[in-house]
Amino acid sequence: MQQFLRRHPAVQAWLLLSPGGLFLSVFFIAPLFIVLIYSFLQRGTYGGVVWQFTFENFRRVFDPLYFNTFLRSAYIAILTTFFCLLLGYPLAYFIASRSPRTRSLMLLALMIPFWTNFLIRTYAWLTLLRTNTGLINTALLSLGVIAAPLPLFGNDFAIIVGLVYGWLPVMVLPIYAALDRLDPSLIEAARDLYASSAQVFRRVIWPLSLPGVVAGSMLVFIPALGSFVTPAILGGGKSLMIGNIISNQFLAAHDWPFGSALSMLMMTLMLLGTLYYFRSTLKAEADA
């Protein structure tokens, strides 16, 4: 048996993959066919579908309105990812540089705020950010730091604050997981060769942490792109997000086939983007 497995690594791979793979095939891929099939059917008047084949849904998908919304959502998501990385990388590094026991406790401390309820957390930000009566503006006004309230609420700034807050731990976790692997002796070796801190970071630490950065960016970018509750509450709902459009098709417009078509298109685009992003970033680093 051992011999057989060693000689056939592909069999090993499939053995490892089969529990998760089977689970996802039955409980995700098979149901996914429903979305795929629905995207080619006609709408039932009030939800559900009529079993008539049509390409109409995919024709409607190519609407400049939806395309622009997609671009806008991508813009918000890119900014969110950027700031999550900016805040999350040093935080992950900080945690990874503690003693092993402290690390686990800090990881817990990182996640515990998110075991409270999402809506309540978002309302807490509302309390802080509101333009005329928010705690931040009130404090700054009474201290005389500013003369008029800052526009902290009901705009892209508030949306991005809310999203960065919500997804920061998701950026930190994979970077931490990658950094924790760092062997201190590598850094010492570099130091012994009189490398500067910047050099140590650029040549040793950053490349090793890159898989974490790539994974974290993906885990932040995708949900941020599809988000709509945070934009609705903190952004004042004055602009549309792609997650909103899709959700509205299923619920408000009772148009399941069109919602399915939009979902399929978005998934295809994002999947191609994700696979390309993973491959190119990691490959470029491997080549360097």
Partner 1 sequence: MKRLIILTSLALALAACTQPTPAPAPPPAPAPGPVEPAKEIVMYNWTEYIDPEIYGQFEEATGIRVIEDNFSNNEEMLAKLQGGAAGYAVTVPSDYTVSIMIEEGLLAKLDHANIPNLSNLAERFTQTPYDPGNVYCVPYMWGTTGIGYDTAVMDAPESWAVIFEPDPASPAYGRATMLDDTREAFAAALSYLGYDINTTDEAQLQEAKEALIRARAGLAGYDSDTYEDLIAAGENVMAHGWNGDFLLAQEENENVGFAMPQEGGVVWVDNLCIPASATPEQKAAGEILINYLLDPEVAAQNSGFIYYASPNAAAEAFLDEEFLSDPTVYPPAELLDRLQYLRPVGEVESLYQRLWDEVKSAD
Partner 2 sequence: MSTTPSDRTLGMGARLRSRLGSLSLSVYGVLGFLFLYLPIVILVIFSFNDSRSTSQWAGFTTDWYRQMIEDRQIILSLWNSLFVAIISTAIATVLGTLAAMAMERYSFRGKMAMDAVLYLPIIIPDIAMAIMLLIFFNVSGIGFQPWEVQFFGNRLAVPYSVIIGHVAFNISFVAVVVRARLANMDRTLEEAAQDLYANTWQTFRRVTLPMLMPGILGGALLAFTLSLDDFVITFFTSGAGFNTLPVRVFGMIRRGVTPKINAVSTLMLAGSFLLILISIISRMRSGEDEDAIQFGL
Interface of this chain with partner 2, residues 58 to 117, rule: CB under 8 A: 87, 90-91, 93-95, 97-99, 101-105, 107-117
Closest separation in Å from C-beta 180 to partner 1: 33
Residue 75 binding partner 1, by CB under 8 A: no
User: What is the footprint of partner 1 within residues 125-184 (CB under 8 A)?
Assistant: 126, 130-134, 154
Residue 49: φ, ψ to 5°: -135, 160
Q: Are 231 and 159 in contact (CB under 8 A)?
A: yes
Q: Which residue is it, tokens 């604050």? A: 161
Greatest CA separation found in the chain?
77
Part of the chain binding partner 2 (CB under 8 A), chosen from 72-80, 139-147, 152-160, 170-178: 170-178
The SS3 call for residue 41 is strand
Q: Is 50 in the site for partner 2 (CB under 8 A)?
A: no
Q: Does 192 bind partner 2 (CB under 8 A)?
A: yes
DSSP classification of residue 147: S
* Cβ at position 53, least distance to partner 2 in Å: 18
Q: 75 and 137 in contact (C-beta within 8 Å)? A: no
Residue 5 or 50: which CB sits closer to partner 2? 5
121 is a contact residue toward partner 2 (CB under 8 A): yes
Stretch that binds partner 2, among 50-58, 72-80, 140-148, 165-173 (CB under 8 A): 165-173
Structure tokens that stand for 269 in this block: 């685009």
Which of 164, 266, 275 lies closest to 221, judged by CA? 164
Question: Euclidean distance between the first and final Cα of the chain, in Å?
Answer: 40
Name which of 253 and 272 has its Cβ closer to partner 1: 253
Q: Is 49 in the site for partner 1 (CB under 8 A)?
A: yes
Q: Which of 190, 184, 169, 4 is nearest to 87 (CA)?
A: 169
Assess 252 for contact with partner 1 (CB under 8 A).
yes
What is the token pair recorded at 167?
Answer: 């997804």
Amino acid, res. 218: M
Q: Which residue ranges make up the site for partner 1 (CB under 8 A)?
A: 14, 18, 21-22, 25-26, 29-31, 33-34, 37, 43-49, 51, 65-66, 68-69, 72, 123, 126, 130-134, 154, 232-233, 235-240, 244-245, 248-255, 258
